Amino acid sequence: MARALPVLAALALAAPAWGQTEPDYDARVRQSFAAAESFQGALDGGWTLAAGGEGPLFAIRFADHDGEVEAAWRDLRRPGALGASGFVDAVERDGPRLILRFAPAPGVQAIATLTATGSGGWSGELAENGRRRPATLTKTAP
């Protein structure tokens, strides 16, 4: 029974305040959501890094808050494998240019050098241990 109290407290916080109509409450929730989203940058969310002719290679998840960008990657070619995910070592963004540096496997260095496209995506080149090929970065999730 002791565990029920935090749940009930959370439900009480989620409910409209006394005397507040449901449309007012919904408007307040929408306003809070919009305020939270205003702190997110354009890169925030899920993206897919693909190479020409090879399809999707990496899922990239960005946290872009107030100009500070961090990212994590997952190798889509090795689903469920140990070591098939990690943090992006460096994210460099300078206007329309974006560079990602990470190590997708021991001894392997990946560098994606991308330029913003007019459609909200990015295109450029992916180099893995010197092997270079065309690449795109496409948003896949908010």
- What is the model's pLDDT at position 5? 52
Domain ranges of the chain: 4-37, 45-141
For the ranges 14-18, 20-24, 113-117, the one whose mean pLDDT is highest: 113-117
Residue found under tokens 């994606």 = 112
Q: Does residue 3 register a pLDDT over 70?
A: no
Mean of pLDDT over the chain: 83
Q: Which amino acid is at 132?
A: R
135 contact partners, CB below 8 Å, separation of at least 6: 49, 50, 51, 52, 112, 114, 123, 124, 125, 126
Average the pLDDT over 63-69 and give the result.
83
pLDDT tens per residue across span 19-41: 667 777 777 666 655 545 544 56
Distance CA 68, CA 142 (A): 17
Average the pLDDT over 51-57 and give the result.
93
Nearest to 63 by CA among 94, 88, 34, 31: 88
Buried b (16+ CB within 10 A) or exposed e, 105-124: eeeeebbbbbebeeeeebeb
Pull the structure tokens for residue 37. Answer: 């989203």
% the chain with pLDDT above 70: 76
Instruction: For the domain made up of 45-141, give the CATH fold.
Output: Lipocalin (2.40.128)
Please compute Rg for the chain using Cα positions. 20
Of residues 133 and 39, which shows the higher confidence score?
133
- pTM exceeds 0.85 for this model: no
26 contact partners, CB below 8 Å, separation of at least 6: none
Residues 73/86, Cβ–Cβ less than 8 Å: yes
